[in-house]
Each structure stands twice: as structure tokens, then as C-alpha cells.
Amino acid sequence: MRGLRHLTCTADLSPQEIEEIFSIAQRLKKALTKGKRDSFLKGKTLALIFEKSSLRTRVSFEVAMHQLGGDSIYLSKHDIELGQREAVKDVAHTISRYVHVVALRTFGQEVIEEMTRYSSVPVINALSDAYHPCQALTDLFTLREKLGKLEGMTLAYVGDANNVARSLACLSARLGVNFRIASPAGYQLSPTFMEEVEKRAQRKAIYQTDDPQEAAKGADVLYTDTWVSMGQENEAEVRRKVFKDYQVNSSLLRLAKERVLVMHCLPAHRGEEITDEVLDGPHSIVFDQAENRLHVQKAILKFLLRD
């Protein structure tokens, strides 16, 4: 019998465990295309506690549970009013008596940590202000699928050093991917975060600059995300000015490798962090990424719920 496991950020997983999740995802994806169904989550229920909006994360988790024979229940911020109507720890104690796994989308990472402290079932970080581990796992799974091997390739992220960027940095470092990030001053990865990540890397893994062109030069992959994450709506005007030169467009693409892959976790803000031309163009793999959320969510559930 294994102990209780959670997925708060990708540092919770060893490289072997990441590999295990990737191979489960690959197997389940293949099985699905052949019309084979595995019902190993029969009798299990997932609670999705979401304090922020979602398309991909919510739908992929719900469909994953359904396809694997389980059930899910969605609780929006108005249902629970986490930490307001009731303390996080009381919610954690109570919900653990009803369901087998919880996916939590919230603001502060401390809410995720608090939920894991008091929950007696696995808790999955379905996005916090600090991390988006399910997204980064899917992204590197997708790249491995496309490129065959991850080690030594260069992923250049252009834009805000946000939750998605932080999770990509952590996971890239773990898997031997060179992670370059171009963000404007004041919106960069903190030195403490970078030090922590480098400690878990096999070699120097992160290179940070404020120059998008420098980051893009010769890159295998160009990645971007919104300039204004959920919860930052009141900074939108300022951010749009600060980030205006941090756009993934065709001139940036020309600096990267000829067969560069373009990624975006979505939702995209067309004409802001990415142009229509690039998002809809031949280098873009954004909808393959979105599809793979389903296969990787299944693998995460299987990994956390096995006896």
C-alpha cells in the first residue's frame, strides 16, 4: 500500500515518476484511439473545486473520469466559497469523506498546501497563482511525442514569468530541457525560485533575459501565455503596455529553428501575446497540447489513485 500522494507542483514527482505518468498517458491515448476503454476508476469520484474559470482543465478532468468509469462533481467558487463560508481545513476534512480525489483551482499556492495538509485523499493543483503542474506535464509529454526526446532541446518562453512559466521551468530542469525565458524587468522569475529549481536540475537549466529575440534564437520550441493571468485583471492596462514587445509573431519565429514548434497553454489573446498568423500557422501545436490534457489528466489520476 502506497502512502497518500498529492500533486501540488511538479517537484512532487521524481524523474522516474514523471516518466511513469508519460507512459500511462501514452498507453491510454493509444487505447482510446482503438476504442478500448479501461474502467479502473469505477466507483471513484473526483471533486473539482474551481475558484477561477476553466475550459480545458475542467472538461479534460470530467471527461477523463467519465471515460475511466468514475464520476466527477464540479464546485464553482459560489458553491463552496472556500475559506469564506467555511475554513479550507474544514472543507478538506469534509470533502475527503465523500470523494476519492480533489482537483483544486485557486489563487494562492498556500491554499493548495493547506488543502493537502488536511485532506485524506489526493489533492491535485489544477492551477494556482504560482504553478500549473498538469499543464507543464502535458506540454512536455506533447513535446516528447512530437520530437522523440526531450533531453538537450531548447524551450524558449516569451512573456510573463507566471504560473505556467514556473511549472515549465521546474519540469524542464528535471528532464534535461534547456529553459530560456524572456520577460520584462519586474515580471521575471525570482532569483530564489531559480536557485531552488537549479538545485533539482542535473545541470544549469534556466537562462533568463529581457530580450525575446535572444531567447528565440535557435530555439526548438517557442511558448507563450497571457500577459494578464486570472486574478490580475486590474493590472491589465499596465501589463498590456509592459509586454507589448513580448509577442510571438512571425518575425520572432524566423529567429528560431526552421521547424520550431509553437505552444500556448490557452486561452490565447490573439493579437496580444501571439498573432493569429502564428497561432493558426503550420508551426502551432496548441490544439494537440489541449487534446493531450485529457490523456495526461487520466495518467495523473491513475498514478495518484493506484493502491
Residues that bind ligand CP (CB under 6 A): 54-57, 127, 135, 265-267
Chosen from ligand CP, ligand NVA, none, partner binding at 55 (C-beta under 5 to 8 Å by type): ligand CP
End-to-end CA distance of the chain: 6
16 phi and psi angles, rounded to 5 deg: -65, -40
How many helices (H) and strands (E) in the chain?
A: 13, 9
Q: How far apart are CA 278 and CA 224, in angstroms?
A: 11
State the DSSP code for 156: E
Question: Is residue 133 a contact partner of residue 11, using CB atoms and an 8 Å limit?
Answer: no
Closer CB to ligand NVA, residue 164 or residue 168? 164
Which spans of this chain sit near ligand NVA (rule: CB under 6 A)?
Answer: 127, 162-164, 225-226, 229-230, 265
Residue 48: HSE in the Cβ half-sphere, 13 Å Cα cutoff: 24
Q: State the cell numbers at 124.
A: 491535485
Closer CB to ligand NVA, residue 168 or residue 206? 168
- The Cβ of residue 281 has, within 10 Å, a number of other Cβ atoms equal to 12
Q: How near is the Cβ of 61 to ligand NVA at its closest, in Å?
A: 14
Q: How near is the Cβ of 217 to ligand CP at its closest, in Å?
A: 27
118 phi and psi angles, rounded to 5 deg: -110, -5
The residues carrying an active-site annotation are: 105, 132, 135, 225, 265, 293
Closer CB to ligand CP, residue 54 or residue 125? 54
Q: How near is the Cβ of 164 to ligand NVA at its closest, in Å?
A: 5
Chosen from ligand NVA, ligand CP, none, partner binding at 163 (C-beta under 5 to 8 Å by type): ligand NVA
Least Cα distance to 46 among 118, 120, 123, 119 occurs for: 123
Closer CB to ligand NVA, residue 44 or residue 131? 131
Least Cα distance to 301 among 97, 119, 98, 137 occurs for: 137
Q: How near is the Cβ of 230 to ligand NVA at its closest, in Å?
A: 4
**Which residues have C-beta within 8 Å of that of residue 31, sequence separation ≥ 6?**
37, 38
Q: How far is CA 249 from the centre of its chain?
A: 23
Q: State the cell numbers at 53.
A: 474559470
Q: How near is the Cβ of 123 to ligand NVA at its closest, in Å?
A: 18
Helices 191-199/163-175 angle, 10° precision:
30
Q: How near is the Cβ of 171 to ligand CP at its closest, in Å?
A: 15
